[in-house]
Copies of this chain bind each other. A is one copy, B any other.
Amino acid sequence: MAITIGNIKLKVPAGSKAILVKNLYLSCDPYMRHLMRSQGSLLLHSYTPGSPITGFGVAKALDSDHPDFKEGDLVWGTTGWEEYSLLTAPEGLFKIQHSDVPLSYYTGILGMPGLSAYAGFYEVCSPKKGKYVFVSAASGAVGQLVGQFAKLMGCNVVGSKAKKEKVELLKNKFGFDDAFNYKQEHDLTAALKRYFPEGIDIYFENVGGKMLDAVILNMRIHGRITVCGMISQYNLDQPEGVHNLMLIVYKRVRIEGFSVFDYYPQYSKFLDFVLPSIKDGKIKYVEDVAEGILLW
């Protein structure tokens, strides 16, 4: 990665239907890893070397040639990792109507990850009170919300994570019933059996690989696995094989991948649910914010 210094005219070309924004927050999300491959980026386009990478962000319009936007509007959606961006298809952006919450939340709980958690849990998992729910990568932008949504519904929720502090966060801040550090378990199947003696009804899948195999062995009859991502696989040239799929027949398990883009029409319904829950403290959200564009 490189940072390039250049000049941009803070003015939208006339007739371009574009908007020019100052980027306020940029989000580093797991899906971006796929776009860094020259090929095999699945169904998404790849990043173009030499051009600014794109990602979700919060931005403020400085100039607009689009009828739906005007100077001063706050927006969230896909923008560039740069100080200012000329966005030529602003129709894909959401205008921010509620600015009495931290604006950075629109890259998290009020943005793509929040809607992912909401749609994935409420629409795809078919949750019910009393169900046993397991969430992997559970303190991530999506996982922490799925666990809290599940608790609000009266489910029994356990999360996994790789660090002791994150495990504590899950239990003490987000109200998970329990949590474990998967890196300290030499047998994931046995660990899940310990945390779910009755088995798992709903698995919110964020990691894939060995965890998925261990979960399948612990699923209950008619269980659901909702696949949001498989981050344990993203850096591998060849993804690990999953061996226990035959069990989904005997256990009548449904495994379903979903994409947040299919649920964009539900965004305002989602906001109606989540904004009051943030304000009255029913749902908590933890961010990891760094200032400036950093070089790793």
Contacts and interface: CB of A to CB of B under 8 A. Distances in A.
B43 A250 contact: yes
A246 B239 contact: yes
Q: How large is the interface on A (under 10, 10 to 19, 20 to 34, 35 or more residues)?
A: 20 to 34
Interface stretch (A69-77, A222-230, A280-288): A222-230
Interface stretch (A141-149, A187-195, A255-263): A255-263
User: Per DSSP, are chain A's interface residues mostly helix, strand or loop, or mixed?
Assistant: loop
A256 B257 contact: no
A246 B238 CA distance: 11
A251 interface: yes
Given A256-B254, A259-B250, A238 B245 contact: no
A254 to B, nearest CB: 4
Protomer copies: 2
Interface in A211-239: 212, 227-230, 233, 238-239
Nearest to A42: B250
A49 to B, nearest CB: 22
A243 B208 CA distance: 10
A249 B254 contact: no
Nearest to A258: B252
A114 to B, nearest CB: 18
Contacts of A256: 248, 252-256
Interface of A: 42-44, 208, 212, 227-230, 233, 238-259, 262
